[in-house]
Amino acid sequence: MSESEFTEIKQEPKKENKKYSGKKKFSVGNAVFGVLKGNLLSQEFALEYLPFIFYISFLLLIYIGNNYNSVKTVMKISSINKELKELRYEYITTTSELMHVTRRSVIAKKNDLIIKGIKDSKSSKDSLAPLYKIYKDN
SS (HEC) of 37-90? HCCCCCCHHHHHCHHHHHHHHHHHHHHHHHHHHHHHHHHHHHHHHHHHHHHHHH
The whole-angstrom separation of Cα 72 and Cα 74 is 5
Q: Is 73 part of a structural domain of the chain? A: yes
Each residue's pLDDT tens digit, 78-131: 999 999 999 999 999 999 988 888 888 878 787 777 776 666 555 555 555 566
Q: Is 82 part of a structural domain of the chain? A: yes
Output the pLDDT for position 77. Answer: 97
Q: Is 23 part of a structural domain of the chain? A: no
Output the pLDDT for position 13. Answer: 55
Q: Is 4 part of a structural domain of the chain? A: no
Q: Is 13 part of a structural domain of the chain? A: no
Domain that holds residue 103: 28-116
Output the pLDDT for position 95. Answer: 93
Domain count, the chain: 1
Q: Is 110 part of a structural domain of the chain? A: yes
pTM of full prediction above 0.85: no
- Grade residue 29 by pLDDT with cuts at 50, 70 and 90: confident
Output the pLDDT for position 131. Answer: 66
Output the pLDDT for position 1. Answer: 52
Q: Is 100 part of a structural domain of the chain? A: yes
Q: Is 133 part of a structural domain of the chain? A: no
